[in-house]
Amino acid sequence: MAIEVHPARELPRDELWNLVGTIRRELGRRGEILPPSWVDETVDGLAQGIGRGWFWGDRRSPAGLAVVWVRDRKAYGHLHGTGTPESAAGLVELGRHMAEHLGPDVGRLDMGSTGLSELEEGELGRRLSENSRFSKLLRHSMVRVLASTGPPPEPRWPEGVELTTVQHVPFGELTSLDWRTYRGTPDETLLSSTPAGNKELLENALAGLFGRYLDEASPAVRTPTGALLGFAVACQESLQSGILLDLAVDPDSRRRGLGEALLLRSLRALLALGYPRAHLWVTEGNTSARALYEKVGFAVDASAMIYRWVRDSTSLPPQPAASSP
C-alpha cells in the first residue's frame, strides 16, 4: 500500500487538536511532562505553518501524525499512530519525511512515538534502523516509593561541603555546571545541544513550566569558598509524585558520595512535602546514574524509545561559535 504524506495544516483544526491532545495525554500517562499550553501552541503553530507537521491517511480520520520543533540546529520530533493495521509502516514514512524536510543547518533529529502496540513499536524501530542514519536510544522511567517504606536514609555528606538550595546559587553557576557535567555522558545534547538551549531548559524548570518547582527538594552543595559542586532539581509532577528533572555533580568531585547524598536529601524532602513517590527518567547507557538510582531504591516502571537521525556531518554548514552560558 502506497503511503502518502500531507502537511498537517490540511487537517481540520478539531482533528488536529484531538490528535495533539491524545499525544499529550499518552506522554503524560507515561510520565513525560509537557507545559499546559503545549496542545494549543502546537496546533496554532501547525495550522499557521510556523510549526512543521505531516499526516498520512484520510483527512477526516488520519492514521498517523508527525510533528517537529527545531531548536539550536537540533530537531525534536514526535510520531503518533492511531492504531490502524499499517501504523508502523506509516510512521516510518512520516519519520523519513520529517528527516528529509528539516532545514539544511539541522544536524540531528530525536523522535519519540505514541499510539503503537509493543509489536508495532518494535517494527518501527526495525524499519527505521534499516537506514544507517537512524539509531535508537532507550530511556527508562524509574520510580521510588516514598510512603509506606519509611524515610530514605539520611544523606552522608563528604567532609568540607556546604549545603544550600538551588535558588540560592547564582543561575550562571548552575547552568555552567549543568552544561559541563553532561559532557561525555549518553545524555549529552539529548535535551539541548548548546549552552543557551540548556540554560533555557533549566530556566523553564525553575520557573515551574514542567510542574511546580520545589526548592526544598532541590539541594545544592558547594565548597566553603563557594564553588558549586553539585545540585538536584525537583518539581511537582502530580499530587502523588515529585519528579527529579536534574542531578549533576562536578566531574572533578565524582565518586565521593555527593550524587547519592543530593538524591537522598531530595527524596527525604519530597516525602516531607507529602509526595508518596519520586519519579525520573534516565538513559539506558547512563550506567553511573542508573547504578545510583538502583542503589537508593528506584526501579524501572516504563521505557520509551527515542529514534535518532544524524545528518552526514560533511553536508552541514559550519556551526557559529557557542556563547558561554
Ligand X SMILES: CC(C)(COP(=O)(O)OP(=O)(O)OC[C@H]1O[C@@H](n2cnc3c(N)ncnc32)[C@H](O)[C@@H]1OP(=O)(O)O)[C@@H](O)C(=O)NCCC(=O)NCCS
Among 223, 240, 288, 319, binds ligand X (CB under 6 A): 288
292 near ligand X, judged by CB under 6 A: yes
Task: Give residues with Cβ within 8 angstroms of 253, minimum separation 6.
Answer: 229, 230
Give the number of other Cβ atoms within 10 Å of residue 89's Cβ. Answer: 20
Length of the chain: 325
Nearest distance from C-beta of residue 148 to ligand X, angstroms: 24
295 near ligand X, judged by CB under 6 A: yes
Count of residues engaged in binding ligand X, rule: CB under 6 A: 22
Nearest distance from C-beta of residue 248 to ligand X, angstroms: 5
Among 119, 207, 239, 291, binds ligand X (CB under 6 A): 291
Nearest distance from C-beta of residue 157 to ligand X, angstroms: 10
Nearest distance from C-beta of residue 25 to ligand X, angstroms: 25
Nearest distance from C-beta of residue 149 to ligand X, angstroms: 19
Which residues from 237-266 bind ligand X, rule CB under 6 A?
247-249, 254-260
Which is closer to ligand X, CB of 18 or CB of 185? 185
Which is closer to ligand X, CB of 135 or CB of 185? 185
Contact track, ligand X, 180-199, x by CB under 6 A: -xx--x-x------------
Binding site for ligand X (CB under 6 A): 181-182, 185, 187, 247-249, 254-260, 282, 286-289, 291-292, 295
